[in-house]
């Protein structure tokens, strides 16, 4: 599976590089959690690209995990934007969709 962060260059240019690095770290944490659950090994492929290798999953299983990943990232995005909107030093929790 290939993963590319949408509009990352725009985000990186608009915000400081430190915030862009934090976004990459958040995604890496999500990928690491999924890796343990789904037997998918993720590697950073480029600046904002990742590749996931899953030799023991069927195509249908991989598609299901990819969709779960997309939803997890979407929820994380919402939490990050909510925290930034509400001010500094905030804790925002997520609930599964």
Name the residue ranges covered by the structural domains of the chain.
2-86
C-beta of residue 40 within 8 angstroms of C-beta of residue 3? no
pLDDT digits (tens, 9 = 90+) for 39-85: 888 888 888 888 888 888 888 988 998 898 888 888 877 877 777 77
Over 80: is that where the pLDDT of 28 sits?
Answer: yes
User: Could you tell me the sign of the dihedral formed by the alpha carbons of 86, 47, 41, 54, in that order?
Assistant: positive
- Cα-based torsion angle of the residue sequence 51, 16, 72, 90 in order, rounded to the nearest 10 degrees: 150
Over 80: is that where the pLDDT of 25 sits?
Answer: yes
The reported pLDDT for the residue numbered 22 is: 83
d(CA 41, CA 51): 8
d(CA 18, CA 82): 19
pTM: 0.69
Domain topology for 2-86: Alpha-Beta Plaits (3.30.70)
């Amino acid at each position: 599976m290939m993963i590319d962060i949408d509009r990352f260059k725009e985000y990186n240019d608009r915000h400081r590089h430190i915030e862009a690095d934090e976004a990459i770290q958040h995604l890496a944490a999500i990928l690491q959690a999924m890796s343990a659950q789904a037997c998918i090994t993720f590697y950073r492929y480029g600046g904002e690209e990742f590749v996931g290798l899953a030799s023991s999953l069927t195509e249908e299983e991989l598609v299901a995990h990819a969709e779960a990943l997309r939803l997890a990232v979407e929820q994380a995005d919402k939490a990050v934007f909510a925290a930034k909107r509400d001010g500094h030093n905030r804790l925002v929790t997520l609930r599964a969709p």
